[in-house]
Amino acid sequence: MKKIVGKYKEPEITFHATAENLKRGCAFSDSTNKFFKSKLYIPKGIYHYKTHEEANEHWEKFIIKGIVERQKEIKNNG
């Protein structure tokens, strides 16, 4: 059984963009950028992957590295 905390409503998937969803996406992007500051680095280049899983692993590797670096900075600076 799932424990429900809060009142989060999963956004509906539609074929037409809405201003509200655009605002949510921008807010999410802004909060992510504020968290990582300059710690998130994915090398520029053209990448070719055999599978989506391989592409996801590559992306996750750099996201996790950025999270770890940011957490170290937060821990050291209080």
Q: What is the pLDDT of residues 18-73, one digit of tens each?
A: 888 889 889 988 887 777 766 677 888 899 999 999 999 998 998 888 888 888 88
pLDDT of residue 28: 86
User: In what helix (H) or strand (E) does residue 65 lie, and over which residues does it extend?
Assistant: helix 52-77
Cα 65 from chain centroid (whole Å): 13
pLDDT of residue 25: 86
CA dihedral 49, 57, 14, 30 (to 10 degrees): -120
Helix axis angle, 52-77 to 19-36, nearest 10°: 60
Domain definitions of the chain by residue range: 19-77
Tokens encoding 14: 């539609």
